[in-house]
């Protein structure tokens, strides 16, 4: 990366600091999927998708201008299966063109030499690849994608050569069994980092990334035990979920006081294939269309009603820069005592500690070739 570009990115972050730093948006590009995952209602063998939809690239171009103007610098494309979108490379390029960092979630079935090169040429920085089990047979059976295990392994090696960071994305489910076996399999597949998605049995937005599947039917006690286990394993594998967030989700499951407010609707957003923007994928009503999002008020009500992983995990990291922005606002208004108290909150200290603890993993993902 050139010195000029590095300086430009640093200057951009400094400009965004008074509003809590850069923001994120998940964008669903299609509701079509070629997999049969039991714990997802986008599955092609279920009846939830009644009309196939594809995000309009031209409208997305205008949408990205609006998102950029509102402080979004990180965009993650999802679906359905985003690699099925015929204009996927064009949309990835459009994100990078605006100085935003593109990422994507995929099941890996469409990874070919040609489109991996196209992903790199388009400017993709991070690719999340779904893994359901430490056993190839169980993973492929749940996905309905024969041969995808070896395709992911070969793809990981090539993507590394192309400078695209890959992260295993694992929904916590009963196919995993022994997590030590999972970490071994992930290493053999070429992953050095994994993010765990918390099971979703219901959502209120337009997203269908949920299911009543028995594979994710954990009691609160069972799930809390899994999260405690993952927290204890962070030194053994590159688990992206911050330790503080795993502890927060355990408190959520035990119905204990939450320490970190969620910034969904304030620093993190979700846009569906119809260009409706939500505060998160759990929420029942949109903030508005993407055009309305240009002027809509952000939401900051300290919500902790769900455990949607993107929003809750990221909010732990965002707590520090948001607090700095709040303190700057208080200081400008002459409220120095309030500024100091804002920075002295326990959640701010824990956020700073979490950023330092996870720094090597975050730096590896953020590094641009």
Structure-token pair, residue 4 = 């000029």
Tokens linked to 58: 């031209």
Task: For 266-303, give one letter per residue: b (16+ CB within 10 A) or e.
Answer: bbbbbbbbebbbbbbbbbeebbeebeebeeeebbbeeb
Q: What are the residues whose beta carbons fall under 8 Å from the beta carbon of 314, sequence distance 6 or more?
A: 24, 263, 267, 268
Give the three-state DSSP class for 81.
Answer: coil
CB 73 within 8 A of CB 99: yes
pTM: 0.94
Domain segments of the chain as ranges: 22-304
Q: Which two tokens stand for residue 276?
A: 């409706």
How many Å apart are CA 176 and CA 192, to the nearest integer? Answer: 18
Bridging pattern class, strands 276-278 and 288-289: antiparallel
Nearest alpha-carbon partner for 196 in 284, 307, 302 = 307
Overall CATH class of domain 22-304: alpha beta
Q: How many CB atoms lie within 10 A of CB 107?
A: 28
Report the distance separating Cα 78 and Cα 83, nearest Å: 9
pLDDT in single tens digits along all 369 residues of the chain: 557 666 777 788 889 999 999 999 999 999 999 999 999 999 999 989 999 999 999 999 999 999 999 999 999 999 999 999 999 999 999 999 999 999 999 999 999 999 999 999 999 999 999 999 999 999 999 999 999 999 999 999 999 999 999 999 999 999 999 999 999 999 999 999 999 999 998 887 778 888 999 999 999 999 999 999 999 999 888 999 999 999 999 999 999 999 999 999 999 999 999 999 999 999 989 999 999 999 999 999 999 999 999 999 999 999 999 999 999 999 999 999 999 999 999 999 999 999 888 876 666 565 544
């Amino acid at each position: 990366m050139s010195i000029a570009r590095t300086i430009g990115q640093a200057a951009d972050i400094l400009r965004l600091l008074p509003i809590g730093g850069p923001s994120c948006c998940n964008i669903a590009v299609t509701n079509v999927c070629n997999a049969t995952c039991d714990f997802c209602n986008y599955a092609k063998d279920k009846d939830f998708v009644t009309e196939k939809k594809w995000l309009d690239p031209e409208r997305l171009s205008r949408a990205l201008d609006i998102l950029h103007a509102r402080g979004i610098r990180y965009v993650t494309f999802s679906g359905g299966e985003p690699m099925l979108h015929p204009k996927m490379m064009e949309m990835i390029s459009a994100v990078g063109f605006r100085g935003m960092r593109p990422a994507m979630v995929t099941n890996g079935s469409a990874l070919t030499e040609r489109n991996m090169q196209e992903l790199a040429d388009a400017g993709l920085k991070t690719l999340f690849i779904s893994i359901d089990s430490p056993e190839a047979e169980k993973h492929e059976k749940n996905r309905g994608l024969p041969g995808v295990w070896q395709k992911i392994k070969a793809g990981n090696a090539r993507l590394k050569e192309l400078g695209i960071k890959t992260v295993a994305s694992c929904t916590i489910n009963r196919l995993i069994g022994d997590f030590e076996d999972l970490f071994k399999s992930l290493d053999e597949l070429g992953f050095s980092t994994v993010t765990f998605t918390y099971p979703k049995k219901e959502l209120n937005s337009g997203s269908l990334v949920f299911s009543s599947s028995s594979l994710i039917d954990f009691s609160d006690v069972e799930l809390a035990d899994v999260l405690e286990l993952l927290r204890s394993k962070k030194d053994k594998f590159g688990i992206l979920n911050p330790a503080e967030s795993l502890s927060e989700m355990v408190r959520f499951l035990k119905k204990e006081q939450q320490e970190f407010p969620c910034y969904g609707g304030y620093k993190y957003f979700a846009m569906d294939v119809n260009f409706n923007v939500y505060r998160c994928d759990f929420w029942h009503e949109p903030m508005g269309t993407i055009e309305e999002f240009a002027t809509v008020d952000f939401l900051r009500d300290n919500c902790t009603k769900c455990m949607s992983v993107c929003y809750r995990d990221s909010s732990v990291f965002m707590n520090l820069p948001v607090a700095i922005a709040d303190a700057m606002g208080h200081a400008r208004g002459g409220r120095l005592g309030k500024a100091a108290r804002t920075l002295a909150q326990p959640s701010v200290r824990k956020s700073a500690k979490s950023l330092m603890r996870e720094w090597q993993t975050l730096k590896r993902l953020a590094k641009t070739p």
